[in-house]
Amino acid sequence: MKNIDNYTFSGKKVLIRVDFNVPLDGNFNVTDNTRIAASVPTIKKVLNGGGAVILMSHLGRPKVGFENKFSLKHIVSETEKLIGQPVKFAPDCIGKEAVELSENLKPGEVLLLENLRFYPQETSGDIDFSKKLASLGNVYINDAFGTAHRAHASTTIIAQFFPNDKMFGYLIEKEIFSVSKVLKEGVSPITAIVGGAKVSSKIIILEQLLNKVNNIIIGGGMAYTFAKAMGGNVGSSLVETDFLQTARDILAQANSKNVNILLPEDTVAADQFSNEANIQLFDTNSIADSWMGMDIGNKAIKSFTSCIENSKTILWNGPVGVFEMENFENGTKAIAIAVANATQKGAFTLVGGGDSVAAVNKFKLSDKVSHVSTGGGAMLEYLEGKELPGIAAIME
């Protein structure tokens, strides 16, 4: 299969689907350029190989047609700064001007197309729109993992026009490699840490993990549905009563598959959902009425940390407490540190598919783990074992 490292880009016009969906302030300044910076290695690889680059992206969720606040013209100068060279701009992603600009593009030059989502045909995956985009280049690279779970024109449908000249960029390659390192080639002991608010949004991933891992650590709001399902008193903690049986089924499956499930022994609870609330520590199975579990306690931190630090492969999806509030961040911080320590001891560690990404960033540990995924929803679906259309379209 062709890939970005073995392909000859010399003289080619290379369409790259990037994720430049960056936040802008009221004056249209880029407030966080992480996503643009992340795509630089792929862009540079093509330019250094003698190709010309045509960048395509979406920005925000425009309704129909042009909306100034969603125009990619606002990010031209930030892109120029990060790539270190001028970037041309096509004020319409298809049509006469885009065709002329791409025809006149010379090797080593970069052209950015206007927001693809100014056309509803982008998200509907329209074939004619895809064909028009495809006509601008002769190679297609998908490097936008965050939209790989959507069969949009620029992420999926376009690929069929490049049967022999389509490939992943470095960002997607790393996401695929990281998931494969955990779910296909994981070295035991393999531990998944699954947290976040609700069981309902994590059922498929939990069921998938039961066939792949040795330990599952369950934290966050979802732990209380499990605790209640086993007969515990969880006070006014978040509980999804419709999912009590699901929780029991997952525990039974884990038992029959020899997967060790770790639930938090103790809980830091609050008398209201607020950082200013009164705080009390309880055993997770006997939380007093009107108190709600907000974070894992010290006993849980100890046993979770020990499990994590003895693992060789770790997947972390979702915080184990309401880490956005300073008084309830301890547990999630301890998990982040344990995952970083395990990485240092040689474990492969992947953080992705939930707010755990925000957590490792908050605790400034993102460069101390093996991989932090850039694609929230896409990563969750990928970990659930679903085929992502944007990935399948390149593999086909």
Question: Which positions touch ligand AMP (CB under 6 A)?
Answer: 196-197, 201, 220-221, 238, 293-294, 318-319, 321-322, 324, 354-355
C-beta of 193: minimal distance to ligand AMP in Å?
11
Closer to ligand AMP by CB, 201 or 298: give it. Answer: 201
CB contact at 8 A, 3 and 42: no
Mutual angle of helices 203-210 and 244-256, in 10-degree steps: 10
- At its nearest, how many Å lie between ligand AMP and the CB of residue 329? 10
Query: CB-wise, 73 or 198, nearer to ligand AMP?
Result: 198
What is the 8-class DSSP label of residue 24? B
Pairing of strands 292-296, 260-262: unpaired
Residue 240 or residue 355: which is nearer to ligand AMP going by CB?
Answer: 355
Taking the least distance from each CB to ligand AMP, the nearer of 186 and 352 is 352
Gap between the Cα atoms of 274 and 89, Å rounded: 46
Choose the catalytic residue: 12, 13, 17, 35. 35
Task: Return contacts of 79-84, CB within 8 angstroms, 24+ apart.
Answer: 79/20, 79/36, 79/55, 79/110, 79/112, 82/33, 82/36, 82/37, 82/40, 83/40, 83/43, 83/44, 83/47, 83/110
Q: Residue-wise over 352-385: b if at least 16 C-beta within 10 A, else e?
A: bbbbbbebbebbebbebbbbbbbbbebbbbbbbe
377 catalytically annotated: yes
* Catalytic hit among 60, 232, 376, 377: 377
Q: Cβ 223 to ligand AMP, closest distance in Å? A: 7
From the candidates 88, 198, 299, 312, give the one annotated as an active-site residue.
198
Q: Which is nearer to ligand AMP, 266 or 355 (CB)?
A: 355
CB of 279 to ligand AMP, least distance (A): 13
Measured from each CB, the residue nearest to ligand AMP is 196
User: Toward ligand AMP, which CB reaches closer, 146 or 293?
Assistant: 293
**Pairing mode, if any, of strands 52-56 and 166-168?**
unpaired
Q: What is the CA radius of gyration of the chain?
A: 23
Q: Least distance in Å: CB of 306 to ligand AMP?
A: 21
Given 146, 293, 354, 390, which residue is catalytic? 354
Instruction: Using alpha carbons, select from 301, 304, 309, 370 the residue that is nearest to residue 345.
Output: 309
Q: Which amino acid is at 239?
A: V
Instruction: Decide the pairing of beta strands 348-351 and 371-372.
Output: parallel
Active site residue 60: no
35 included as an active-site residue: yes
Q: From the CB of 94, what's the least distance to ligand AMP, in Å?
A: 36
- 45-70 burial string, b = 16+ CB within 10 Å, else e? bbbebebbbbbbbbbeebeeeeeeeb
> Which residues are known to be catalytic?
35, 198, 354, 377
